[in-house]
Chains A and B, each alone.
Chain A
Amino acid sequence: MERFDIAVIGSGPGGMSAAAHAAELGLSHVLLEGSPKHSNTIQKYQKGKHVMATPTKLPLRSPLDFAEGTREYILDKWEEGMTSTNTNIQYGSEVTGIDGAKGDFTITLANGSKVGAKSIILGIGVQGNPRKLPCPGAELEHVQYQLDDPDEYNGERIAIVGAGDAAIENAVGLAGQNKVCIINRRDEFARAKQGNLDLITSSISDGKIECFYEANPARIEENPSDESRYVFVLSTPTGEVPVPIDRIIARLGAIPPRKLVESFGIEFPNDSPAALPELSSQYESNVPGMYVIGALGGYPLIKQAMNQGYEVVEYIQGNDIEPADHPLFVEAFDGLPYDKSVDEILEYLQNSSPIYNGINPLNFREFILDSKVSKRAPGDELCVNGEFTNSFFVVIDGNAFVKLPGVGEFHFNRGDFFGEQSLISGRRRTATVYAGDDCVVVETPRRSMVKLINSVDSVKRVLDEAFILRALHSKFTPNTAHAELAEVVANTELRTFDANQDIYTEGEEGDEVHLIRIGSVTSVKQSNNKEVITSYMPVGHYFGETGVLGHGVRTDTVRANVRTETICLSKDSFVTLMDKEPGLQNEIQSHIRDRLTVEARMEAQPKGGELMSFLMGEGLGEGTDVLLIDETLCVGCDNCEKACAETHDGNSRLNREAGASFADVHVPISCRHCEHPHCMKDCPPDAIHRASDGEVFIDQEACIGCGNCVRNCPYDVISLQKNPAPKPTLLHWLMTGKGPGPGGKEYADGETIKKAVKCDACKDNAGGAACVRACPTGAAMRLNPKEFVDLVGSRFGS
């Protein structure tokens, strides 16, 4: 067994940088890479992809070069860098196990060989390894787990195994010039996006692709006759079927690396898929001598990974160097009233609030870098009632306060926090908070908070408690002191419902009251054996109160439109609240009266209920600002698309004609500005934000064009686009006819950078949505789902 001082596992930007630095220092080292080439994640980017070097302000610290450029250029540079530093890389060395302890680790590779090391640096990223075919022959030469360019294959017999989006896209991409079959374990394609589902079912029914349903790979054999390369034997309900085949592409998803990492002894704080391993400020895991860098440690950008590779080698050598982001902190802390070093301030911040207790110092560093620490002048508005911002605040020094009518000012002091309502509900701010005397606050963007909530259990608990207390207080008992509500809060329960799940049904007994804190619901009634939707309720609304005030039998069915969470109050708790607040009873009665009138109106229009169901079915229930087109007015002039393109760098962010219609209401493809935007889920540079009026937008400077949001948006509203060249003015075009006219575009030569573009609800335009204002016939309108009831009324009302 060969032994090294440092073994680096995974040759992504992080691992490569570490190994190259070790080589540069002349240390005994090895870089173990599972695939046949270095940086597998980057190799898999689309050909010619422009790779960004964000964050721009962060200096690079690595023996390898890295600056913005094409994928090919960057990969070449790294290759050169590894050669010139004499980096000892071993390809095809997938690591499957690690035993031993600091100073004497034994690494096991997939081929059974072993490597010894004193320290280990793990940089295996988060992409995971593709799931292999579970049958003999899975390692044959023409069995592959990825498809770069479908055009490379011609006139072959190809089997695609899998039923997800990747399998379908590959199958359809290859079917034009090859004979393709797709092997599906089930009897339908349940996991695919709607568009792909349509594609594959029509390709199958047209005979372009053959499909084997309920078929499992049994084995792959070399074909003794020359007719095809292999015989792919499938086991089906009717017995084994041999299929002559030249190439097999299995798209069975990736195995997340977590299990493997845990088998090395590294611990994660909880089961959440977003949880990150615990690391020291020197990237050391709970296993001494085993270090974690790059995406696996929660740093999703190339430059960060490369810097960490460099730093971790220094730390292993015992050099306590300052991390590369040090200057960023110096800048960020400038202007704070503390005479302390960066590390001291960080410690001071972390000790300020119990919320920060459970975070490890390394993550806290990143957390603060993402946040904004500032001293605010007394009277400054920190967050404003009615705005859609969703950052989270912790008071470090001095205080901040809200003005509560009836109760007076409520103060937040050192360690207190606010902003959890909008963070959790995805809705407007429910109060304006002002800076008090000597106020220093940390303001953290949504993504970092979500990360924190997912990795530190105690944070979630503390936030939920505060959320419930404050929500009940502002909704039901604004004149009662917080302390008096403690008992009620302790007796509430948070309930979670999946999309389309009934929260309760008409006729059943029940007397609990629900206050919606995430998602939205519709209330449904049976009328002439048909379901009629009678109302739509978003976050902040409550339902079930008729159960408490009436005879305890539900008079309607309430159903979650999207994943929904409610604060559930027992009858007793609700009665307690009513006792505390004398006006509440009246208010609730008028609330019931209002609801009943709306319900009666909707019940009289069963067609309206169908329209409502259609709108909910299109996923509009989770939107906050939805573009709808009245087909009886639209003349198809496409001035809406032209207006959008003209006001947004030439790329229209809406597709008028695509999308579904019902009862003359058309839902074009355009962003709905979801309460909990799916697109934000996995954006490496955190480039997607929510503006104060709720507009979800992409910061074009920060976007690296990775396409994650394109995949994550269920409504297909994001696309990767090049930036068109500047255009002549309207007058110039009118006079000379040169250049593209309104709505048209041309690209500059050599323009290759693609970035994600989507509707930003024209947040920068004082007049609002350009598409709506440019429609000559009034057919285009942007609505909040709350207005759907009016829409239905205006369509079907008498």
Chain B
Amino acid sequence: MYQSILNFKRARYLWVALALSIVSIAAYWWHQPVGLPNGGTWLGYTLGTVGAMLIVWLLLLGMRKRSYRSNMGTVQGWTSAHVYLGTALLLVGTLHAGFQFGANVHTLAYVLMVVVIVSGFFGIFVYMRYPNLMTYNRSGDTLDGLLEKIHKVDDRSRRIANTPNLSRLVESAIDGCQIGGSWWQQLSGSGRSIMSVPFAMDPDAQEKAQSNKDHKLVIDVLANRLSQLGGGEEAGAVTSLLANFAAKQTLLRRIRRDVQIRAILKIWLYFHVPLSFGLLAALIAHVVVVFFYW
């Protein structure tokens, strides 16, 4: 019923791409150019034209994706064709060049094409694999739901803290915990967590801000405190706080993983798309050079 990009309509564009590839290889095989194979032969021109048209069409996916009223196929169909024909382009482009490279605008275009295609491979890999991981990680919750839970855990911690020092500790841990952040922080799944420990609990630290990565520090400090207290009201609070921060740690890990997966699902397009515009520029340069300065 549901089909992935690769299976779309029994992978019909896989067959189109295969056919294109086979024809290209066969032609390349049959063709006996004068001198080395290159872009200047009749086959070279043909493959070049096909390649250039493919690139322009691949770029048009960006338009189609945003032509929300368009009835020209579905975006999924376009993407499926995009993936297979984009892959075939690797072959078409290479054969067009006849394996002749140098330090010039022509090879620049070729390299850009390869980079775009490779980034596309990464993209389709990510698209096929990460949604599953994301669902598994969220296990039925939503990001908003998880954030809401963190809020509640925090509120509870605030209420449990029954000495000024505990309150300051809790407040500092909550304050210093950041979700999201820069691209890099999102991608690495870390996010900044810092805190300062009240003097009474750790005189050496001098109340300076320290890393509370993965909420380890606050849990350590609390565990330490618990071992110093031999029961009493504060010990009860500290035990509850420990449980609370452990719960928060698990929630945070899930949230950060979720943020990370979302970022991975998006970041590659920030390479794929600008590079493909670079490719378009290089392609134009390549064509102009070929026709006017050869």
1/0 per residue B27-56: CB within 8 Å of A? 000000000000000000000000000000
Q: Min CB distance, A767 to chain B, in Å?
A: 4
Contact B155 A206 (CB under 8 A): yes
Contact A730 B67 (CB under 8 A): yes
Contact B135 A631 (CB under 8 A): yes
Docked complex Cα distance between A790 and B1 (Å): 7
Contact B79 A643 (CB under 8 A): no
Docked complex Cα distance between A646 and B130 (Å): 28
- Kindly identify which residue among A657, A767, A776, A779 contacts B2, using a CB–CB cutoff of 8 Å: A779
Given the known A-B contacts A639-B65, A742-B66, are A664 and B135 also in contact in the complex, defined by CB atoms under 8 Å? yes
Residues of A741-756 contacting chain B, CB below 8 A: 742
Contact A770 B69 (CB under 8 A): yes
Given the known A-B contacts A633-B131, A779-B2, are A646 and B265 also in contact in the complex, defined by CB atoms under 8 Å? no
Docked complex Cα distance between A795 and B2 (Å): 9
- Kindly identify which residue among B1, B142, B156 contacts A658, using a CB–CB cutoff of 8 Å: B142
On chain B, the residues within 8 Å of A637 by CB distance are: 265-266
B147: CB under 8 A from chain A?
Answer: no
B4: CB under 8 A from chain A?
Answer: yes
In the complex formed, the residue of B with least CB distance to A787 is B1
- Kindly identify which residue among B74, B152, B262 contacts A206, using a CB–CB cutoff of 8 Å: B152
- Kindly identify which residue among A658, A774, A793, A794 contacts B75, using a CB–CB cutoff of 8 Å: A774
Contact A777 B4 (CB under 8 A): yes
Given the known A-B contacts A633-B131, A781-B1, A781-B2, are A776 and B68 also in contact in the complex, defined by CB atoms under 8 Å? no
On chain B, the residues within 8 Å of A777 by CB distance are: 4-5, 76, 79, 127, 131
1/0 per residue A780-798: CB within 8 Å of B? 0100000100110111000
1/0 per residue A648-690: CB within 8 Å of B? 0000000001101110100000000000000000000000000
On chain B, the residues within 8 Å of A328 by CB distance are: none
On chain B, the residues within 8 Å of A730 by CB distance are: 63, 66-67
Docked complex Cα distance between A521 and B140 (Å): 27
Given the known A-B contacts A661-B140, A776-B79, are A636 and B134 also in contact in the complex, defined by CB atoms under 8 Å? yes
Docked complex Cα distance between A730 and B74 (Å): 19
On chain A, the residues within 8 Å of B8 by CB distance are: 778
Q: Min CB distance, A482 to chain B, in Å?
A: 41
Docked complex Cα distance between A658 and B8 (Å): 27
A111: CB under 8 A from chain B?
Answer: no
Given the known A-B contacts A776-B75, A777-B76, are A634 and B131 also in contact in the complex, defined by CB atoms under 8 Å? yes
A600: CB under 8 A from chain B?
Answer: no
On chain B, the residues within 8 Å of A206 by CB distance are: 152, 155-156
A775: CB under 8 A from chain B?
Answer: yes
On chain B, the residues within 8 Å of A646 by CB distance are: 66, 68-69
Docked complex Cα distance between A190 and B132 (Å): 36
- Kindly identify which residue among B2, B68, B135, B155 contacts A647, using a CB–CB cutoff of 8 Å: B68
Docked complex Cα distance between A766 and B126 (Å): 33
Contact A635 B130 (CB under 8 A): yes
B288: CB under 8 A from chain A?
Answer: no
Docked complex Cα distance between A770 and B71 (Å): 9
In the complex formed, the residue of A with least CB distance to B261 is A636
Contact A202 B152 (CB under 8 A): yes
Given the known A-B contacts A634-B131, A661-B140, A664-B135, are A774 and B68 also in contact in the complex, defined by CB atoms under 8 Å? yes
Docked complex Cα distance between A775 and B73 (Å): 12
Query: Which of A634, A635, A647, A766 has its CB near the most chain B CB atoms (within 10 A)?
Result: A635
Contact B127 A657 (CB under 8 A): no
A376: CB under 8 A from chain B?
Answer: no
On chain B, the residues within 8 Å of A773 by CB distance are: 70-71, 74-75
- Kindly identify which residue among A635, A658, A790, A793 contacts B127, using a CB–CB cutoff of 8 Å: A635
Contact B76 A643 (CB under 8 A): no
Docked complex Cα distance between A633 and B131 (Å): 6
Docked complex Cα distance between A202 and B151 (Å): 12
On chain B, the residues within 8 Å of A661 by CB distance are: 135, 140
B144: CB under 8 A from chain A?
Answer: yes
A765: CB under 8 A from chain B?
Answer: yes
On chain B, the residues within 8 Å of A766 by CB distance are: 71
In the complex formed, the residue of A with least CB distance to B80 is A778
Docked complex Cα distance between A500 and B181 (Å): 47
B3: CB under 8 A from chain A?
Answer: yes
1/0 per residue B1-35: CB within 8 Å of A? 11111001000000000000000000000000000
B216: CB under 8 A from chain A?
Answer: no
Docked complex Cα distance between A382 and B194 (Å): 72
Residues of A587-638 contacting chain B, CB below 8 A: 630-637
1/0 per residue A76-97: CB within 8 Å of B? 0000000000000000000000
On chain A, the residues within 8 Å of B208 by CB distance are: none
Q: Min CB distance, B253 to chain A, in Å?
A: 19
Contact A765 B75 (CB under 8 A): no
Q: Min CB distance, B178 to chain A, in Å?
A: 21
On chain A, the residues within 8 Å of B66 by CB distance are: 642, 646, 730, 742
On chain B, the residues within 8 Å of A408 by CB distance are: none
Docked complex Cα distance between A706 and B142 (Å): 31
On chain B, the residues within 8 Å of A657 by CB distance are: 142-144
On chain A, the residues within 8 Å of B155 by CB distance are: 206
In the complex formed, the residue of A with least CB distance to B69 is A647
- Kindly identify which residue among A642, A664, A778, A793 contacts B4, using a CB–CB cutoff of 8 Å: A778
On chain B, the residues within 8 Å of A794 by CB distance are: 1-2
On chain A, the residues within 8 Å of B159 by CB distance are: 207
A772: CB under 8 A from chain B?
Answer: yes
Docked complex Cα distance between A779 and B130 (Å): 13
Contact B1 A633 (CB under 8 A): no
Q: Min CB distance, A763 to chain B, in Å?
A: 14
Residues of B54-98 contacting chain A, CB below 8 A: 63, 65-71, 74-76, 78-79
In the complex formed, the residue of B with least CB distance to A634 is B131
Contact A776 B69 (CB under 8 A): no
Query: Which of B1, B68, B76, B126 has its CB near the most chain A CB atoms (within 10 A)?
Result: B68
On chain A, the residues within 8 Å of B156 by CB distance are: 206
In the complex formed, the residue of A with least CB distance to B8 is A778
- Kindly identify which residue among A636, A642, A778, A790 contacts B265, using a CB–CB cutoff of 8 Å: A636
Docked complex Cα distance between A13 and B67 (Å): 47
Docked complex Cα distance between A778 and B2 (Å): 7
Q: Min CB distance, A155 to chain B, in Å?
A: 20
1/0 per residue B169-195: CB within 8 Å of A? 000000000000000000000000000
On chain B, the residues within 8 Å of A207 by CB distance are: 159
- Kindly identify which residue among A643, A664, A779 contacts B68, using a CB–CB cutoff of 8 Å: A643
Contact B65 A776 (CB under 8 A): yes
On chain B, the residues within 8 Å of A630 by CB distance are: 2
Docked complex Cα distance between A78 and B71 (Å): 51
Docked complex Cα distance between A793 and B1 (Å): 9
Docked complex Cα distance between A244 and B262 (Å): 50
Q: Min CB distance, B95 to chain A, in Å?
A: 29
Docked complex Cα distance between A787 and B79 (Å): 26
Residues of B115-169 contacting chain A, CB below 8 A: 126-127, 130-132, 134-135, 140, 142-144, 152, 155-156, 159
Query: Which of A742, A777, A790, A794 has its CB near the most chain B CB atoms (within 10 A)?
Result: A777
Q: Min CB distance, B123 to chain A, in Å?
A: 10
On chain B, the residues within 8 Å of A781 by CB distance are: 1-2
Q: A631-B131, A647-B68, A773-B70 are in contact. List 18 more A-B contacts (CB 8 A).
A: A207-B159, A633-B131, A636-B134, A639-B65, A639-B75, A642-B66, A647-B69, A662-B140, A664-B135, A742-B68, A765-B69, A766-B71, A774-B68, A777-B79, A778-B3, A778-B74, A778-B76, A790-B1
A selection of 29 A-B contacts at a CB cut-off of 8 Å is A207-B159, A632-B132, A633-B4, A635-B126, A636-B262, A636-B265, A639-B65, A643-B68, A646-B68, A646-B69, A657-B142, A657-B144, A658-B144, A661-B135, A730-B66, A730-B67, A766-B71, A767-B70, A772-B74, A776-B65, A776-B75, A777-B4, A777-B5, A778-B3, A778-B4, A779-B131, A781-B2, A791-B1, A794-B1
Please list the residues of chain A having a beta carbon within 8 angstroms of any beta carbon in chain B: 202, 206-207, 630-637, 639, 642-643, 646-647, 657-658, 660-662, 664, 730, 742, 765-767, 770, 772-779, 781, 787, 790-791, 793-795
5 nearest A-B pairs in the assembled complex, by CB-CB distance: A767-B71, A794-B1, A643-B68, A778-B76, A646-B68
